[in-house]
Amino acid sequence: MKRIGFMLAVLMLPFQAIFAGEGMWIPMLLKQLNEKEMQAMGMRISAEDIYSVNQSSLKDAIVLFGRGCTGEIVSDQGLLLTNHHCGYRQIQQHSSVENDYLTEGFWAMSKEEELPNPGLTVTMMKKMEEVTAQVLEGVSDEMSMEERKQKIDENSKALIEKAKEESGFQVVIKDFFIDNQYYMIYNEVYKDIRLVGAPPSNIGKFGGDTDNWMWPRHTGDFSVFRIYVDKEGKPAEYSAENVPFKPDYHLPVSLNGVEEGDFTFVFGYPARTSEYLPSYAVNLITEVTNPPKIKLRETRLDIFSKYANTDPKVRIQYAAKHAGVANYWKKMIGESKGIRRLNGIERKQDFEQDFTAWTKKENNRYQGIIPAFEDTYSELEKYSLAADYMREGGFGIELLSFAARFNKLSEVTKETTDEQLESMVKSAQLASESFFKDYHLPIDKEVAEALLEIYREEQADDFRPGFLNLIDRKYKGDVSSYVDQLFEKSIFTSQEEVDKLLQNFSHKQVKKILRDPAFEAYSSLRNFYDDKLGTPMKQLAARNDSLQRLYMLAQMQMQSDKRFYPDANFSLRVTYGNVDGYHPADAVYYNYFTTLDGIMEKEDPNIYDYVVEEKLKELYQQQDFGRYGDAKGHMPVGFVASNHTTGGNSGSPVLNADGQMIGINFDRCWEGTMSDLMYDPAMSRNIAVDIRYVLFIMDKFAGAGHLVDEMTVIQ
């Protein structure tokens, strides 16, 4: 209990030792920790207006969209906004050559035209409460890591079951400050989410991967969905009888725009940050594992692009895949460069020297932490690299990833029940249908040859899966010959062959899976992980987790005048800052906003990423911006601010001093992507599409003004 009391005392400290703009703050603690500062920076509402369990508040309009983005409700009929790239998979799945919604866009002109999306959910947090004392009841410093985890899991399970029964909500417990504090979160999950609208990719993805993570930006990165519920207003699976959701609160939308220095805040679900790592961890990420992952992903992207640029069908098939691979590829490049620019590793090392001196002076239990980190990360390096090559170089081959989906069927025996077999076959059939819809064999074959060549060259032959060494033994190092036979002999390259396999499948067909060359390669990768990587990586990770928990607690004790915020963990957070441009390099300054003028300046009909829609050009030439243009006659497109965001914040609303929505967060500037590890007030900027551009595209471009009419628009 003393440790818990200390944690709360540190959190409540009035002192400020972080940069304005830095931090991902727990909504229920804003009153105690942040309200005064936020109001001093310009906020005109209260913490209670943002988060309340006693009355409707902003939190009642914020949802986790799918499993990795944020969305916000903007009407009393459950209308929801998020990013175009967050809804990209759904848009792509509804697209075909005949109905190419990626290229042409999609707009439902009535609720009857809205498209269902099986499997898509949105999650709304109803409340959260601290349960640190209950979770850590019976936990002592004398326990081993396994004993500690077992007791925490036992306590958490009992708390969750009781809370579920009493509340009727879905309940999770998340750790904060690296297992030093715990919160119980009550969620409502909605399962009937329909696509309402999406701009053409030439608007929603304008600039493409070229501009991804970059500023200035001119991307209309938004899509529109709607939440449906049953007639009693409860979450339900899709049904034609369901009705639009009526939320307790929806965000008002402001057309008043932004000015430099304006207070803003972002409300959403940031995914993962690691601000309190030791130097050894930062070095492993940025200098050891990022470079080969960057190289392997770039190899795939080049091949994807070569085919997509010449075949419209392939472009549609690989659009979401390309975006998924490219997103983290570019982020890693910026992250590593940013840490080098900040001398981040050296700064961490300087802190560790001070930390070591403090531990000796205080003669406390933390004295061995830094040397222990050095030992574990030094040992972890080879395993991390091997795992990354396996994921990026092995499972970067679609054929092998698809073959892995048949692992359960490969274990079927005479004892497998008919019911179990039927379920496995059905799952495999669905996987096959989805896979071949978006699969182009020539791409995958070229990717396989390129990735395996790199894999063989850069991983020692005694520390890589056996099938790579087979290339040396059987094919005399000729990767091309191995890949030829792999794709020629595997049944997993043909939907017809897979369908034939699954028809009347029984234990007698198991050998056909086990002897398939693609499944053999997958098994080789899996066995390599199980035999060489899994156990030591798990042990080293557990050791580092234990060290990191103590290191977090020690940092808070050492820096008792600093106000700490917890790392992101996909829980609802508030981050706040100011609208502000920045200097990315010597003698270069980026303004805080962009306009439609910039889209016309970037236009290049010969480059797909910079094709401008004809209707958009007409509106620009006629200066027909309606009520959405600014006072100077320009059409705003995007802006940047110093809010501390990360993955998961995609789709988050950017709100003004009055809690009105002024934009949709969709990216960070490339120079600031290291903010997951180290925030830089000079460079860390979140990028948002201006809500005026969103409504302009809906209304003037798409003719879907009925959606704007649903919203509460402030002007």
> Looking at the domain assignment, is residue 471 inside a domain?
yes
pTM: 0.88
| One domain, residues 111 and 141 | no
Residue with tokens 């607690």: 553
> Looking at the domain assignment, is residue 475 inside a domain?
yes
| One domain, residues 213 and 65 | yes
Number of structural domains the chain divides into: 3
Does the pLDDT at position 563 exceed 80?
yes
> Looking at the domain assignment, is residue 585 inside a domain?
yes
Nearest to 563 by CA among 29, 1, 4: 29
Backbone angles phi, psi at 228, to 5 degrees: -115, 150
Query: Residues 6 or more apart from 257 whose CB is under 8 A from it?
Result: 630, 636, 662, 690, 692
| One domain, residues 116 and 136 | no
> In the prediction, which pLDDT does 20 show?
64
Q: Which domain holds residue 423?
A: 279-550
How many whole angstroms from its chain centre is CA 570?
9
Mean pLDDT within 403-414: 96
| One domain, residues 542 and 424 | yes
> In the prediction, which pLDDT does 607 show?
83
Domain boundary among 190, 211, 240: 190
> Looking at the domain assignment, is residue 6 inside a domain?
no
Domain boundary among 155, 173, 190: 190
Mean pLDDT within 390-411: 97
| One domain, residues 436 and 463 | yes
> In the prediction, which pLDDT does 235 show?
98
| One domain, residues 368 and 259 | no
| pLDDT single digits (tens) 428-479 | 999 999 999 999 999 999 999 999 999 999 998 888 999 998 898 999 999 9
Between CA 257 and CA 579 the distance in angstroms is: 11
> In the prediction, which pLDDT does 227 show?
98
> Looking at the domain assignment, is residue 304 inside a domain?
yes
- Which of 283-287, 325-329, 690-694, 699-703 shows the lowest mean pLDDT across its residues? 325-329
> In the prediction, which pLDDT does 438 show?
93
> In the prediction, which pLDDT does 461 show?
82
At 637 the three-state DSSP class reads strand
Does the pLDDT at position 2 exceed 50?
no
Backbone angles phi, psi at 592, to 5 degrees: -85, -5
> In the prediction, which pLDDT does 19 show?
57
| pLDDT single digits (tens) 296-337 | 999 999 999 999 989 989 988 998 899 889 989 999 999 999
Residues labelled as active-site residues: 85, 221, 650
> In the prediction, which pLDDT does 612 show?
97
* 48 or 96: which leads in pLDDT: 48
How many whole angstroms from its chain centre is CA 117?
20
| One domain, residues 136 and 157 | yes
| One domain, residues 585 and 680 | yes
Query: What is the CATH number for 256?
Result: 2.40.10.120
| Percent over 70 (pLDDT), the chain | 97
> Looking at the domain assignment, is residue 557 inside a domain?
no
Between CA 647 and CA 271 the distance in angstroms is: 5
Does the pLDDT at position 1 exceed 50?
no
DSSP annotation of 203: H
| pLDDT single digits (tens) 131-140 | 999 999 999 9
β strands within 207-348, DSSP E: 223-229, 243-244, 253-254, 263-268
Mean pLDDT within 485-503: 97
Radius of gyration in angstroms for the set of CA atoms belonging to the chain, rounded to a whole number: 26
| pLDDT single digits (tens) 365-393 | 999 999 999 999 999 999 999 999 999 99
> Looking at the domain assignment, is residue 555 inside a domain?
no
Q: Up-side HSE of residue 571: CA atoms within 13 Å toward CB?
A: 26
> In the prediction, which pLDDT does 5 show?
47
> In the prediction, which pLDDT does 11 show?
45
Query: 137: burial class by Cβ within 10 Å (0-12, 13-18, 19+)?
Result: middle
Q: Are 645 and 577 in contact (CB under 8 A)?
A: no
| One domain, residues 199 and 159 | no
Between CA 194 and CA 43 the distance in angstroms is: 34
| pLDDT single digits (tens) 8-43 | 444 444 334 455 679 999 999 999 999 999 999 999
> Looking at the domain assignment, is residue 146 inside a domain?
yes
- 158 band by pLDDT with thresholds 50, 70 and 90: very high
Domain boundary among 134, 163, 190: 190
| One domain, residues 137 and 102 | no
